[in-house]
Amino acid sequence: MLQRQLQAPVRSRKGGGDTSGAARSDRQSRLGNAAVQERSAASAPAVSEAPQAETAPQTFPDGAELQEAGAQQPLRPAKLSKGQTGALIGTGATVKLTRSADGNGRAAAEVADGSAAEIVSVTGSRIKVKVRDGEKNVEGWVDGAVFSDQPALTRDEDDAKLADDYVYSKVEGDHSPVNPKGKDTAQGAAGNCFLIASMAAVANASPGAIKDMVKYDKGKGTYTVRFYEEQGRGAAKPVYIEVDGYLPTEKANRKDPTYAGDENGVMWSAIIEKAYAKWKGGYDVIGEGGTGEQAMAEITGVRSQDKRPSSMKADEVIPFFTQAQKDGKAIYAGVRDAEKSAVQKPFRGTGDGPFTGSLTHTHRWNEIHPGSVEISDAAGKAGDLYDSGSHGDKTGKLSGTGLRSGIVNYKGDAKDQIELAFAKGKGPAAAGDLEVAFDYEGVLNADKTIIGNHAYAFEAVVGGKELQFYNPWGTYQPKPITPGEFLTYFDSLTTNTPPSAKTQS
């Protein structure tokens, strides 16, 4: 399944474990444990298994040599064709689209410079593009010279026909990694915690492995990022992806990246993320999830190793992490999707209904996991009820013996989250007899700030008895957890030994 898309907090490195901050108004980092997610069949080429270290070359091709001269312009495709995605990057504040191919007709629209675009037709040097303009898509003709080769943006949460309303803006300077640390990373508006946590985990274990994968061309202002793709029999083939310094940003603040990285912060994770998005087919593709097993292998060229927390005993947890860290391994772990709620009695109503009830959550981010709602009658008069919802549904229907109608609002954005009515004479003796329980997604443990369906990078063993993980959001960091808490909440564990990792004595 694809990773869950939920609202996430303001990105800030201040006030780590505080979960009381206001949620950001736009779609920022989405909860998602990529460690257990399957890639969409429509995804770009993927590695089925991680490559072997001994077959992974560590040098760049001649084509990646530095150049000291040349204009620093956005990358332009050598050929323009229908279906290409990119951005309109010119020299002004806006780009004008015309209704006619020759450019002399009436204006179809005027969009912000840097707007994401898709080519729908090509006539000579002119291209017809589809661009988001406000809350709709518009089409018009422009000179093909303003079209830049950029990864497709994520899709609007409320309308999948629209790309998210961001613009590509140039981030000046060299942002290749110098002294990379896991804490440099900060996930943004793409649901790709699998990738950001993988970068953080590798940086924690072997900063050199991150540093060596990025090469900056000062003359062109571009970066060549090396990944690895598995070939036959486990051999690792280097893949070189060139990207420029234009990143998706907020329209209102073109210095604020909308995906990885923070304004005025260390930006190497944004460069690697952009290259990965270009390789895989777009930010929209990698925003649908992936696996830490694959992502770490694609970063290091070394096979990842999986271990199920369910196979471990509490007294094995600390020794495992201690030894893995001593061996120089990058460690990535994923939290399970949902947690069971306490039984609640929220209903009001009489007779056979309708009965309405608003469920209580332990955290404001939490939502009902579709398909998990169970309603019963403590007095035994009414039959048991269940919901039929599935992932992605906003509402679900209730069914059960004696029920006339029933609906559940999963998002919790209506006054009454559940409404139901029974057939004549089939209702409970009193509304207070109806009990409801469900699984919830979001923050599974508010005290320790453990977020469900999410990936983390391991940092350290604390005091010989607790584990400290890093949240790739760059904020809302978890408190140290006990082995028991690790086994309770985490359902995946992956290690990877980067070639340049040095075993500690």
Give pLDDT < 50 ranges for the chain.
1-57, 62-70, 502-505
Instruction: Based on the fold, state whether residues 175 and 288 are members of the same structural domain.
Output: yes
Q: How far apart are CA 102 and CA 486, in angstroms?
A: 63
Check residue 235 and give its pLDDT: 77
User: pLDDT digits over 143-172, tens only?
Assistant: 999 999 999 999 998 899 999 999 999 998
| Number of structural domains found in the chain | 3
Do 62 and 91 belong to one domain? Answer: no
- Residue 258 domain-assigned (yes or no): yes
Write the DSSP symbol of residue 300.
Answer: H
Do both 61 and 185 map to the same domain? yes
Last residue of a domain, one of 99, 116, 149: 149
| 103 within a domain of the structure (yes/no) | yes
Task: Give domain status of residue 63, yes or no.
Answer: yes
What's the CATH code of the domain at 93? 2.30.30.40
Contact present, 479 and 489 (Cβ < 8 Å)? no
Give the pLDDT score at 264: 84
Sheet holding 439-441, edge to edge: 338-340, 439-441, 367-368
The C-alpha atoms of residue 301 and residue 52 are separated, in whole angstroms, by 6
70 has which bridge partners?
none
Q: 354-366 pLDDT, tens per residue? A: 999 999 998 988 9
Peptide bond between residue 319 and the one before it cis (omega within 30 degrees of 0): no
Distance CA 342, CA 344 (A): 6
Strand partners, 84: none
- Residue 190 and residue 299 in one domain: yes
| C-alpha closest to that of 289 among 5, 37, 31 | 37
> What is the domain range of residue 404?
342-437
| 195 and 288 housed in the same domain | yes
Q: What is the DSSP letter of 306?
A: E
**Domain shared by 368 and 283, yes or no:** no
190 and 222: one domain? yes
Return the DSSP state at 205. H
Q: Which residues contact 57 (CB under 8 A, 6 or more apart)?
A: 236, 238
Please return the burial class of 484, using the count of CB atoms within 10 Å of its CB with bins 0-12, 13-18 and 19+. exposed
User: Beta 450-451 vs 385-387: how paired, if at all?
Assistant: unpaired
Q: Order of strands, edge to edge, in the sheet holding 222-230?
A: 214-217, 222-230, 236-244
* Domain final position from 279, 305, 331: 305
- The 10 Å CB-count burial string (b at 16+, else e) for 165-174 is bbbbbbbeee
Q: Containing H/E element for 284?
A: helix 283-286
Ordered alpha helix ranges (H), 263-378:
268-280, 283-286, 292-300, 314-326
DSSP string, 359-409: ---SSTT-EE-TT--EEEETTSSSPPEEE---TT-SEEEEEETTEEEEEEE
Please check whether residue 320 lies inside any domain of the structure.
no
Type of residue at 463:
G
Residue where a domain stops, chosen among 418, 437, 456: 437
The pTM for the full model equals 0.84
The SS3 of residue 155 is strand
Q: Does any domain span residue 461?
A: no
Classify residue 223: in a domain, yes or no. Answer: yes
Q: What is residue 59's predicted lDDT score, i.e. its pLDDT? A: 56
Neighbours of 479 (CB within 10 A): 16
Looking at residue 105, what is its pLDDT?
76
Dist. CA 410–CA 34, nearest whole Å: 22
Same domain as 237, residue 371: no
Beta strands in 277-329 (DSSP E): 305-307
Say yes or no: 97 and 177 in one domain: no
Query: Which pair of structure tokens corresponds to residue 38?
Result: 């399957």
Question: Quick one: pLDDT at residue 33?
Answer: 34
Yes or no: say if 88 and 114 are a contact pair by the CB < 8 Å rule: yes
Which pLDDT does position 416 carry in this prediction?
Answer: 75
Return the amino acid letter for 178. V
pLDDT value at residue 55? 43
Average pLDDT over the chain, rounded to an integer:
85
pLDDT at 157: 87
Judgement on whether residues 185 and 114 belong to the same structural domain of the protein? no
